[in-house]
Amino acid sequence: MAVSAAMNDEATFDLVDGALRIADLRADATEGSRLACSAFEYLFATKRDLVSVTLKGDGWQVLLPTLRRKGLLVEGNSASAQPSVFAEMFWQTPEIWMASPSFAHPRRDVFDGKSEHPLRPPKPAGCVYARFIPWLSGTLSFHVATLDDVPDVHRWMNDPRVDEFWNEAGSEAAHRRYLERMLADPHVIPLIGRFNEQAFSYFEIYWAKEDLIGPFCGASDYDRGCHVIVGEGAFRGKPWFTAWLPSLLHLMFLDDPRTERIVQEPSAAHHRQLRNLQRSGFAHIRSVDLPTKRAAIMSISRQHFFSNRLWHPSVAPDEASS
């Protein structure tokens, strides 16, 4: 396998049989590291079977200290061994995709009247994640919802296809109150999904231990979960599903390094969504009766997501879920 790519006329990367060379580097260590990470992202995002790349040649010397500080290098035991960058480690580097640095928020346990759990960090604002999707030739991003998003959320929740499983159809005033509750709830972050800045979806990511699902899935302190609406019909189908779902999982794993598992509780009657989640790496743990539905508890682990490189569009969904 041979791949060559030039980055802004400041560096040239050549990949041959798993060895990546860099030439014509005209940037300092900081900018050179950014260019190298762009090359790593492109390679690991487009080549499903590429587990790692070996950094070969003298051109890497100026960048190795910076890459080492980022925790990206796996180095051999001998002085002559060439360092490598592994896909599963690279994709756990938050600064590549997240607008603000991710860190393990200092722990303090609290009791909210229902469960004891770690005090959650303050909610972010604005764009929290962005990723270029090669097969769509555009940028997918997630933004914390605001009340300015009420008209879109209102329209999407009144879509019969969405309401079939969300059961939240109603007035714009009702949906404003709904979004206000989500914004005020410390265990939920409501997000708007955008593609090239066009809003197309509404997501809720939540801490599972404080959620209704917590007792049913044996939630650990940093397990996360998500609810999903794809509101725009033009953004349904395999190319979109295989962009937003892995990216949403990626965001939740990156947001706190202690998150080892993500859960979902789709309706047990939503057979298409269950098949799509299983094809995306989720396992069906059990089915339970929640107050509003018979739910299938689904789960995916950090180790499974990253070691099997599930950010790739290998899933073949029947049709994107609501």
Question: Which residues belong to the active site?
Answer: 265
* H or E element at residue 194: strand 188-195
For strands 116-118 and 127-133, give the pairing.
unpaired
∠ CA 309-196-72, nearest 5°, is 35
Alpha helices in the chain, H assignment, sequence order: 29-46, 64-69, 87-90, 150-157, 160-166, 172-184, 214-217, 238-255, 271-279, 302-307
**Among candidate residues 192, 198, 128, 126, the one with its CA nearest the CA of residue 154:** 192
* H or E element at residue 5: strand 2-7
Helices (H) and strands (E) in the chain, counts: 10, 16
DSSP output for 128-162: EEEEEETTTTEEEEEEE--GGGHHHHHHHHTSHHH
30, burial (CB in 10 Å: exposed 0-12, middle 13-18, buried 19+):
exposed
Distances (CA, A) of 57 to 1, 15, 20, 99: 18, 12, 8, 32
Q: Are 238 and 314 in contact (CB under 8 A)?
A: no
Quick one: tokens of 139? 């940028």
Q: Are 14 and 21 in contact (CB under 8 A)?
A: yes
Dihedral sign of CA atoms 41, 202, 310, 316 in order: negative
**Among candidate residues 124, 120, 94, the one with its CA nearest the CA of residue 107:** 120
